[in-house]
Amino acid sequence: MSATTLSFDAKAQKAAADAVEAAFERSTGFWSGVLRKLARDPVALVSAGVILLLILMAIFAPWIVPSDPYKTSMINRLKPIGTEHFPLGTDELGRDMLSRLMVGARLSLFMGITPVLIAFLIGSAIGILAGFAGGWLNTIIMRSIDVLYAFPSVLLAIALSGALGAGIGNALLSLTIVFIPPIARVAESVTTQVRGRDFVEAARASGAGGFTIVRVHVLGNVLGPIFVYATSLIAVSMILASGLSFLGLGVRPPEPEWGLMLNTLRTAIYSQPWIAALPGVMIFITSISFNLLSDSLRSAMDVKN
């Protein structure tokens, strides 16, 4: 091998290394800019604060609840808001609503976040594989994913939960299956766009393998948009999980969960409507907080802003 060829190979390797370093610096600067934009966004700060407060409440609920959330008392049933020892009243079995709402945050957040997290991992892997491979493999994977789009997400979740049976595990599995197709579709679309970029072609020309290209050049550019989209699904997941529990297909009594609490309190809507509405208010606050945070994150990642 001539000295000219060796010199050319060394230059090519140095150019590839410089390109990787420049891409890393751009990525670091990009995420720093995103964090700065979020820090200046009052909506993002308030939404993140509410979510953090709910998560802390869910984690420490067993130690900070004012009373036993499972203790029933027919004497104290359906006490109004502001009752002594029961600041948010009691439910149809005399259980403290404040304690049940605090403990219920654990299951409600778990049922909302876990399916989206699992679907994010699986759907991202499927979409990135299909988008990067292209050709017939992309067609087979994405047409198979499209089959699940024939069913509305609500009906698909109910059908799967009904077929699998009631319970937390089956509800989690049903919701995960529901969220994999949309995440995979977004991942495939973003990866297809990134695959044709100049830096990917340069990496191929330098002799990098497919796995290296995906790990170094593709993941850093596609995971951000996929993650933003996934965060917007958390609110949907919470609503669907609450709906399954409301229909008796999710969490089972006597476990406190906001959707299940709505179901059990519906008989009290005429006598104590404010108490019956409390679980719905918690679902609304949590869902709107995740939606607002997702919108703020999407806006902060928009390079045009």
Mean pLDDT of the 12-39 span: 57
Tokens 């399916």 correspond to 115
Cis peptide before 254 (omega within 30 of 0): yes
* pLDDT tens-digit series, residues 57-68: 999 998 999 999
Cα-based distances in Å from 225 to 43, 131, 169, 294, 302: 20, 14, 29, 11, 10
The answer to whether the CB of 218 falls within 8 A of the CB of 193 is no
Higher-confidence residue of 18 and 246: namely 246
Per-residue pLDDT, 15: 44
Query: Taking the mean position of all CA atoms in its chain, how far away is CA 291?
Result: 10
Per-residue pLDDT, 303: 53
Lowest mean pLDDT among 47-51, 132-136, 273-277: 132-136
Per-residue pLDDT, 198: 73
Per-residue pLDDT, 12: 43
Q: What are the structural domains of the chain? A: 28-66+89-300 (1.10.3720.10)
* pLDDT tens-digit series, residues 111-127: 999 999 999 999 999 99
Does residue 56 have a pLDDT over 90?
yes
Taking the C-alpha atoms of residue 90 and residue 98, their distance in angstroms, rounded to an integer, is 8
* pLDDT tens-digit series, residues 79-97: 899 888 889 999 988 999 9
Q: Which of 7-21, 114-128, 143-157, 243-257 has the highest mean pLDDT?
A: 114-128
Per-residue pLDDT, 304: 56
